[in-house]
Structure 1
Amino acid sequence: MTESGPDASDAAALYVFAVCDSPDPARLTDVPGFAVGAPLRTLPCGDLTAIVQTVPAADFTDEAWQARMSDRGELERYARAHHHVVSAAAATCPTVPLPLATLYRGEARARQALVAENGRFRAALERTAGHSEWGVKVYASAPPPEEPRPAPLGRVAPAGRPRPAPGAGLAYLERKRGANARRERCHEESLRVAETVDTAFRGVAAAVRRLRLHGPELTGGARPQVLNATYLVAGHRAHELDRLAGELRDTTGAEIELSGPWVPYSFIGEV
């Protein structure tokens, strides 16, 4: 939270979704925000305007929010509601999204804090106006399957079972080393492809952020992720992205995921 969480005894808190440059309040009338709160409204803060909602303070205490963080479904519900409001505002004017669960104890406290940050908000608006965020993920190619090579059999043991031929253990170790070498070469090639993809998208983007790679528990697949990046792209160049992704798939054979356009959360700086 922006402030330490409001006490459960407080009647209400002010939730701030975003700071905008001249939003159209009429475009937000059908956006619910959080179902537990009052209707969305605007709050002037210097020469900018915040999109806010009055919510029950008891639902956003530190204890309540920590409990919500451990409930994936509940956390996703709040994150989607937050994103829906931010996206609706961004569709009408340049918008700086604020982090999830940004709350203040009353309008006066909110206005004072937001006005103090107007310079940074202005810089973020200038940096992202007319741009959207696009995500690009690249996954490693699967290593080629090892050709089965049956081990030669030696003479028959007294119990009727074949004995391994001389040198069978060494052959097994060599096959093991060969398989590891193939996997390593495949992974190195995937990393080279990831850099090729990143370089190509950088040629279209105004700014880039390389994000932490997702593990298999998040990607849901056995193929490791080798690129997880997000690109700030001007609106007049967005039409180039699908074509670029298709060309890179054809030339590299890589599995490339392109997602967007999104509100440029990753490029607003520390606000």
Structure 2
Amino acid sequence: MTTKQPATPVSATSTYVFAVCRRLDPAALTDLAGLAEGFPVRGLRFGPLTAVVQHVPAAEFTEEAWQRRLSDRAALEHCARAHHEVVTAVAACGPTAPLALATLYRGDERAREALEADTDRFTAALDRIENHAEWGVKAYLPAAARTPSAPTAPAALLPGGGSAPGGAGRAYLERKRGLHQAREQHHDRALRTAEDIDAALTRLATATRRLRPHSLEMTGEKHRLQVLNATYLMPAERAKRLLDAVEDLRHRTGAEVEVSGPWAPYSFVGEV
């Protein structure tokens, strides 16, 4: 006999947590939709800190429901944008520690209890990121596909090819060796360029994170290769120096360097 689990009441709600901060102007939350219609985005005090939360319908925010969202790109993007919109509004009030997408608790008291247990970690993170912002930097070089295509082996070097003048074989091997060397040189240049750009920006930053560069298959681009994918925790007063440094690096390295930001420091709040 199968025992059915009781269904979640239609009126039941969970507490979704967007971020944690010290200072919150309630006016900053006005008109924010969050993730659920009919429920205001609000502050939830715990100890010396404030969590930015929203009630959401429990039946629509189960683990199974989130798994469905993860497989639905449009739904996932909608949630990510709504989450980011709230975090950005809160960050305008002061240092803000964004929480991961889909941070949910069964009610305010459960949320407060869990967050209070992490008060020291949140306090340390907020101390670290105060007057800082996150900047993303991606650098690109022309893809290796621009090197000459592989030469065709002469008949003498193919199975059953008979004999051919030695010069043809040597020429083929030289062309193949040259292609291999060109690819190695391109790889070495990509590594040097990435290290040069990262080293210059790291000198300005409080902290950095190097991410795995996206492959040509991931970016969908055929003509340029991503050689650097990194984020930098930058003091607010160094923002102009960062942009000036990027412009100089574009000229000095010949790379295409793309900058995004300033953002709330998503990548650096979990490192304390």
The residue aligned with 2:185 is: 185
SS at the partner of 2:66? helix
| CA distance in structure 1 between the partners assigned to 2:73 and 2:168 by the alignment | 51
- After superposing the two structures, state which structure 1 stretch, 228-237 or 30-39, moved more: 30-39
Q: CA deviation at 1:141?
A: 3.5
Contact 1:16 1:51 (8 Å CA) reproduced? yes
The aligned residue for residue 52 of structure 1 is 53
Q: Output one character per residue of 1:137-159: Cα deviation in whole Å (capped at 9) or x when no partner.
A: 1223445644999999xxxxxxx
Aligned residue pairs total 255
Structure 1 equivalent of residue 104 of structure 2: 103
CA distance in 2, matches of 1:268, 1:30: 27
1:25 aligns to what? 26
Residues 131 and 236 in structure 2, CA contact (< 8 A), matched pair in contact too: yes
Secondary structure of 2:126's partner? helix
- TM-score for both structures, normalised by structure 2: 0.86
Give the SS at the match of 1:246. Answer: helix
SS in 2 for 1:238: helix
| 1:140 and 1:187 in contact (8 A); partners too | no
Is the Cα contact below 8 Å between 1:134 and 1:260 reproduced in 2?
yes
Matches within 5 A, 1:242-257: 242-257=243-258
Contact map agreement 2:152 2:172 (CA 8 A) in 1 = no
Residue 251 of structure 2 aligns to a residue whose secondary structure is helix
Sort the Cα spacing of 1:123 and 1:211 in 2 relative to 1 into closer, same or farther, 3 A.
same
Counterpart for residue 114 of structure 2: 113
CA change 1:149–1:9 in 2 (3 A) is: closer
Partner of 2:177: helix, strand, or coil?
helix
- 1:122 paired to 2:133: no
Q: 1:56 to 1:105 in 2, by over 3 A?
A: same
Structure 2 residue 179 is the aligned partner of structure 1 residue 171 = no
Aligned equivalents of 2:151, 2:245: Cα separation in 1: 42
CA RMSD, 1 decimal: 2.4
1:9 aligns to 2:2 (yes or no): no
Instruction: Give 1:121 shift.
Output: 0.4
CA distance in 1 between counterparts of 2:18 and 2:94 reads 14
Residue segments in structure 2 that go unaligned for 5+ positions in a row: 1-5, 155-162
Equivalent AA in structure 2 for residue 236 of structure 1: E
What is the CA–CA distance in structure 2 between the aligned matches of 1:36 and 1:107, rounded to whole Å?
18
Distance 1:8 1:211, change over 3 A: farther
Q: Structure 2: how far apart are the matches of 1:218 and 1:61?
A: 30
- In structure 2, the residue matched to 1:200 is 200
Whole-angstrom distance in 1 between the partners of 2:70 and 2:110: 26
Deviations 1:28-69 (A, max 9, x none): 112111143501111111111111110011111111111111
Does the aligned pair in 1 maintain the 2:151–2:175 contact within 8 Å?
Answer: no
Q: Shift of the alpha carbon at 1:224? A: 2.6
Aligned to 1:226: 227
Task: Compare 142-151 and 208-217 and name the one that shifted more.
Answer: 142-151
- 1:122-141, CA deviations, whole angstroms, 9 ceiling, x for partnerless residues? 00000001000011112234
Identity of aligned residues (%): 57
